[in-house]
């Protein structure tokens, strides 16, 4: 069931992007007419993805916050990630419907605050992914020191610093727009954010090149160590028991590690890379606003996939969802339920 749901969710996202691009080209080549059915369909798709994003991340938040057994260092990183992705689904995605008619009607101040909040939330989401990769690196590559290096106190400090740095960096990058909202708008009803070459380069390094380099390097190291450990366990089991069952278990471990790491890296790159293409091409981010909105929507889709990648395939998550849906979570003492 999780795999079917994951494929359905990916189809929903890709179809939304397709409709978005279709309407974008209609606005370019035939601004006088856009089929109303296409616009309504896009509203429905964006609303559906936003609702699913909010619901999935809310389930993660409730599960980790309520059940004491789930309050581990790793799950605290997942909780922080779920909070940032929850805000993307609750605040960022619905506002994208305002851009469908290519006209901003909420005023310059709201536009500036929306751009700031979008930067904060998406930067925090990427930062949380980096923290998760560091956590997994220490857990697998240095397991003996993991309990002393990764404590609940240090994890909380790391999460707080992630959000504080996201707020500070986003505010500095957009200080001109915050001081004078609407200064880059070319006409009434426009909501534009302009980053010059220096600011764009800093943004590119802090929110893309740096994080993705850390994630790929650490995850590849984790993958190599996990595969070598799985092969060592297989050889040990085969030599001791002379039974073929250990081989099957080891292969499952190798495939699971490869699948998980592949999904994490590929989905992150697919969703994030297109958004930074103008920076790589040396363009200012004020050009081709509608085109950038499509890329921003793809960036947001990473928040839709994160709960599926990081939490949906965990057995404890499926069990906690069952307890939440059946309202057993409301029973006295349910926070001490054995989830693992």
Domain map (residue ranges) of the chain: 2-330
CA distance 198 to 211: 19
Section 245-263 average pLDDT? 49
Q: Among 171-175, 268-272, 312-316, where is mean pLDDT lowest? A: 312-316
Query: In the predicted model, what is the mean pLDDT of residues 61-66?
Result: 88
Asked if residues 231 and 247 have their Cβ atoms less than 8 Å apart, the reply is: no
- Measured between alpha carbons, how far is residue 20 from residues 37, 125, 173, 279 in Å? 13, 24, 28, 22
For residue 262, what are the CA distances in angstroms to 216, 224, 265, 309, 319? 10, 13, 5, 10, 25
pLDDT of residue 307: 76
What is the Cβ-side half-sphere exposure of residue 226, based on CA atoms within 13 angstroms?
22
Which superfamily does CATH assign the domain made up of 2-330 to? Rhodopsin 7-helix transmembrane proteins (1.20.1070.10)
pLDDT for residue 220 is more than 70: yes
Q: Please give the residue that has the higher pLDDT: either 152 or 20.
A: 152
Lowest-pLDDT range of 39-48, 201-210, 241-250, 297-306: 241-250
Residues 6+ apart with CB under 8 A from 43: 97, 100
Give the pLDDT score at 242: 45
Share of the chain above pLDDT 70, in %: 66
Q: Are 277 and 322 within 8 A, CB to CB?
A: no
281: its two tokens: 């091409």
């Amino acid at each position: 069931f999780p795999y079917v749901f994951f494929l359905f969710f990916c189809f929903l996202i890709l179809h939304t992007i397709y409709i978005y691009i279709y309407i974008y080209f209609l606005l370019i080549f035939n601004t006088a007419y856009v089929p109303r059915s296409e616009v309504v369909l896009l509203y429905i798709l964006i609303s559906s993805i936003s609702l699913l994003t909010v619901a999935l991340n809310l389930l993660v938040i409730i599960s980790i916050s309520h059940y004491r057994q789930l309050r581990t260092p790793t799950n605290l990183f997942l909780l922080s990630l779920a909070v940032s992705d929850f805000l993307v689904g609750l605040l960022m995605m619905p506002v994208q419907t305002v851009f469908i008619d290519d006209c901003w009607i909420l005023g310059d101040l709201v536009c500036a605050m929306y751009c700031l909040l979008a930067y904060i939330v998406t930067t925090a989401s990427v930062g949380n992914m980096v923290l998760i990769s560091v956590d997994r690196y220490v857990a697998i590559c240095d397991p003996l020191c993991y309990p002393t290096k990764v404590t609940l106190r240090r994890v909380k400090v790391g999460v707080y610093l992630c959000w504080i740095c996201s707020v500070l960096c986003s505010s500095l990058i957009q200080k001109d727009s915050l001081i004078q909202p609407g200064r880059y708008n070319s006409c009434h009803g426009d909501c534009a954010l302009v980053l010059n070459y220096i600011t764009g380069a800093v943004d590119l390094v802090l929110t893309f090149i740096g994080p993705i380099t850390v994630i790929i390097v650490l995850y590849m190291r984790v993958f190599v160590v996990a595969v070598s450990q799985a092969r060592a366990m297989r050889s040990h089991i085969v030599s001791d028991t002379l039974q073929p069952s250990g081989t099957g278990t080891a292969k499952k471990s190798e495939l699971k590690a490869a699948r998980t790491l592949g999904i994490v890296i590929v989905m992150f790159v697919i969703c994030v890379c297109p958004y930074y293409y103008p920076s790589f091409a040396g363009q200012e981010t004020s050009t081709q606003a509608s085109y950038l909105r499509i890329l921003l929507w793809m960036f947001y889709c990473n928040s839709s996939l994160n709960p599926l990648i990081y939490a949906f395939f965990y057995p404890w998550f499926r069990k906690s969802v069952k307890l939440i849906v059946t309202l057993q979570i409301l029973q006295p003492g349910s926070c001490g339920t054995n989830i693992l």
